[in-house]
Chain A
Amino acid sequence: MNDDSLWSIFINACLINNFVLAYFLGICPFLGVSGKLGTATRMGGAVTFVMLVSSMCAYGIQVLLVQIDAPYLKLISFIAVIASTVQLVEMFIKKVSPVLFRALGIFLPLITTNCAILGLALFQTNKGYGFMQSIAYALGAGLGFTLALVLMAGLREKLELAKTPDIVKGTAITLMLAGLLSICFMGFAGLSN
Chain B
Amino acid sequence: MVPNNKHALPSGTDEFLKGFWKQNPVFVQVLGMCPVLAVSNTAENALAMGLATSFVLLMSNIVVSSIRGFVPKQVRIVTFILVIATFVTIVDYLIQAISLELHKALGAFISLIVVNCLILGRAEAFASKNGVLRSILDGLGMGVGFTIALLCLGAVREIFGYGSLFGLELFGQHYQKWVVMVLPAGGFFTLAGWLLLFNWYETARARRKTLKEAVA
Q: Residues on A close to B: CB < 8 A? A: 21-28, 31, 72, 75-76, 79-80, 83, 112-115, 118-119, 122-123, 126, 166-168, 171-173, 175-176, 178-180, 182-183, 186
Contact = CB atoms under 8 A, between A and B. Distances in A.
A27 B184 contact: no
B13 to A, nearest CB: 29
Interface residues of B, number: 40
B199 A172 contact: yes
B210 to A, nearest CB: 15
B78 interface: yes
* Of listed B77, B82, B112, B180, residue having the most chain A CB within 10 A: B112
A182 B188 contact: yes
Nearest to A27: B33
Contacts, number: 110
A76 B111 CA distance: 10
Interface in B50-92: 77-78, 81-82, 85-86, 88-89, 92
Contacts of B31: 28
B91 to A, nearest CB: 10
Interface in B102-139: 108, 111-112, 114-117, 120
A21 to B, nearest CB: 6
Nearest to B199: A167
Interface of B: 30-31, 33-35, 37-38, 77-78, 81-82, 85-86, 88-89, 92-93, 108, 111-112, 114-117, 120, 180, 183-189, 191-192, 195-196, 199-200, 203
Contacts of A21: 184
Contact of B192 (A26, A118, A172): A172
A75 B111 CA distance: 7
A28 B34 contact: yes
Given A113-B117, A179-B188, A119 B85 contact: no
Interface of A is mostly: helix
A179 B200 contact: no
B188 A115 contact: no
A22 B199 contact: no
A152 to B, nearest CB: 11
A26 B93 CA distance: 25
A31 B33 contact: yes
B188 A83 contact: no
B30 A31 contact: yes
A27 B118 CA distance: 13
Contacts of A122: 108, 111-112
A68 B186 CA distance: 43
Nearest to B81: A79
B141 to A, nearest CB: 22
A75 B86 CA distance: 8
A172 B189 CA distance: 9
Contacts of B108: 119, 122-123, 126
B88 A25 contact: no
Contacts of A22: 184
17 contacts: A31-B30, A72-B93, A75-B111, A79-B82, A80-B81, A83-B78, A112-B115, A115-B34, A115-B116, A122-B108, A126-B108, A167-B203, A172-B196, A175-B189, A176-B188, A176-B192, A178-B188
A76 B189 contact: no
B86 A115 contact: no
